[in-house]
Chains A and B, each alone.
Chain A
Amino acid sequence: MRPRPGPALVIGGGLTALLLGVAALSQVWTPEPPTRIRIAMKLLPPIKAGLLGTDHYGRDVASLLMAGAWNSLAVAIPSVCLGAAIGAGLGCLAAALRGPAETVALRVGDVVFAFPAVLSAIMLGAVLGSGPPAAIVAIAVFNVPVFLRVTRAVALQVWTTDYVAAARALGRHPVAITATEVLPNIAGVLLVQLTIQLALAILTEAGLSYLGLGIRPPNPSWGRMLADAQTYLGAAPHLALAPGLAIALSVLGLNLLGDGLRDALDPRLAARR
């Protein structure tokens, strides 16, 4: 009998569905056009103008938040996928080939690991100009060693199993074994890691946009909204709440979803906790 999904999976899945739904909806409908400037209506409190009030240009905060969800995911999803593809690929190769290839991959991972995404983003921003491409590459770079280590660790476990030994005895190439035996067996772990890294990527993207290294104005972004809110902290403190809550709930949702998925995919782990 399959156990009922735990609360983490339900709440996390719900919050994540909400995030994806709002992001998708923002592409077809927002209460106001998110970039429409109405100086006469600037810094109005919630309810008085729109659901969440207006910012210093009189833009509708609720609409900005919705569009911000899309822009946040438009950086976070490609960056994590890119980092995961490279990192997981290298991790699989390291586990399959062992020897010098593995050592080199791990050393490269160590070097890359020394660069938190903010540092890479500053370097790339200096060279490429700041903006979404630099942010995507910076977050992807940070994800490469994470996926490399996780993938290698779980792939090595699969390589010790009898069915892999059987495949090797049949004379199959390590890369072919990786594709047909190893990958399907580590897909669950990778999915959990993807979810958790996506949460981290949303957090990082918000930080980069706060610093002016991510999404460029006038494109709405949660981080930029918080930077603007800081300027008007005295006059309109409500501006500092909504974007932060949006970030926190998105990250919380994805983290819970990751935990829930891990427990669902490996019931032994859930029992031990």
Chain B
Amino acid sequence: MAENAPEGSAAASGPNADTNDSRGPADAFLGGSLRHAAGPYYGAYGGRWMPESLIAALDELEETFEKAKQDPEFLAEIAELNRNYSGRPSLLTEAKRFSAHAGGVRVFLKREDLNHTGSHKINNVLGQALLAKRMGKTRIIAETGAGQHGVASATAAAFLGLECVVYMGAEDCRRQALNVARMQLLGATVVPVTNGSQTLKDAINDALRDWVANVETTHYLLGTAAGAHPFPSLVRFFHEVIGEEARAQILEQTAKLPDAVCACIGGGSNAIGIFHGFLDDPSVRLYGFEAGGDGVETGRHAATITLGRPGVLHGARSYLMQDEDGQTIESHSISAGLDYPGVGPEHSYLHDIGRVAYEPITDAEAMEAFSLLCRTEGIIPAIESSHALAGAIKVGQRLAAEGGDPSDRIVIVNLSGRGDKDVQTAADWFGMLDENGQVKGTTLSTRQPKGASPHTAGAVGTGEENA
């Protein structure tokens, strides 16, 4: 804890103290609501560590967002799209067979995997794409790691008639080739990024470079609750629906609040969305599960809050994986969506005041939970979300160990996305592939291919369209 103490908290709260919504741990609940924190600062975190060239665009975005939030027409538009395009409210499903592995507590899954495009990301992209139109911008750019945010952005752009360019690390393009094709099918241009570590952080760097040059026409549709103000509060705003629905649904289904809520944390957008619904319920313990990669002791991980220290990256002051020189350390995770060395500033604040507990989950633990959910519930989760599932198993066992009837205890897991995109990675992890990378047992056919015409390939394409 000493190592993780925010070294500059005194200094950083100094200059901004008058505009700052800074609270200490003691008054996390006494000082009123933790909900709807507007930024730019969350305690010593947040702010705008950005080139001057982009400040005007951030101001314009903030102003547009603040007006839209108060505009019934905008809110109605979002609600209508959530209902009739994304498929909200998403279900809250009790995972009865999975629960047996989590100490016997009742585990409920918030089914963001059932949203259009397969994850929570759609909530934010629709909101931001509408803001882009309000600002008169005709082009959106986005970064993507696993491809989920890129696919969601391409979807929103197609739906609202905007041009879309997605920056994606070349290494991630390789890991998530199918999502590259999905974005292209949706009409987006995917730019593979070959700078630096060729993953998410470098994709953000290139998106920022694009934005500086094209800010007149272009909105940067940031995919997580991080970055310069107003992005952290803006992205959270569009994901708050997750927590609001979950809270109402659990009360309806069980007539009480949950004991714990679990979510995975990369930048932290799905987590802040579901946590927000419960921030002011002191009895509800909140858990954020970071990517522990090969294990935090190996140095190959993405456990930013667990092992990072405060710094600035991509526009905000927050916990950061950095070396002694302040150079960003490359993160590692089996999950491309959590493979990011930073984290949203509100999470750093919630960590420091002790409102949310952040813990690492290794690749191996996540994949075990992935497999377990597949086999006990018939749901293939995203590998990102599998970190939350693995965490929920631990939390459930701890709750059960506290005594009493475990079936009186309730844990909600934010199932932030579905695992269709991860089938290749999972098949590889579980040893289902042969030396040619083909699924074992699928290459036994001795039938001659029917002719060699290109139409053969067309049949495959038709299948994919329906996928």
User: A and B from one assembly?
Assistant: no
- B residues whose Cβ falls under 8 Å from a Cβ of A: none
